[in-house]
Amino acid sequence: MSELPPEVLELLVCPSCHTALAWDYEASELVCTAPDCGLAYPVRDGIPILLVDEARRPGAAE
């Protein structure tokens, strides 16, 4: 899977808390960097799915 361009990643924020997202290469997810949020959003076919309903909660198994 291809990585998102850095300039795109800089623009994306968590839809829930509006904090920056970090790329988790192993899980192919964008993870919220806020310690009290931490939602992980899937990336499918190179497209980030930034919907809270699609996000994985911190500590939840996939």
Predicted confidence at residue 6, as pLDDT, reads: 84
* CATH fit for domain 6-54, picks 3.40.50.150, 2.20.25.10, 3.90.180.10, 3.30.360.10: 2.20.25.10
Q: Which long-range contacts (CB under 8 A, 24 or more apart) does 37-45 make?
A: 39/14, 41/14, 43/1, 43/4, 45/1
N-terminal to C-terminal alpha carbon distance within the chain: 19
The CA radius of gyration of the chain, in Å to the nearest whole number, is 11
Amino acid of residue 42: P
Judged against a pLDDT cut of 60, whether residue 34 lies above it is answered with yes
What confidence tier does 62 reach under pLDDT thresholds 50, 70, 90? low
What is the average pLDDT value for the chain, to the nearest integer? Answer: 89
Predicted confidence at residue 14, as pLDDT, reads: 97
Provide mean pLDDT across the span 45-57: 93
Predicted confidence at residue 1, as pLDDT, reads: 46
Q: What is the pTM of this model?
A: 0.85
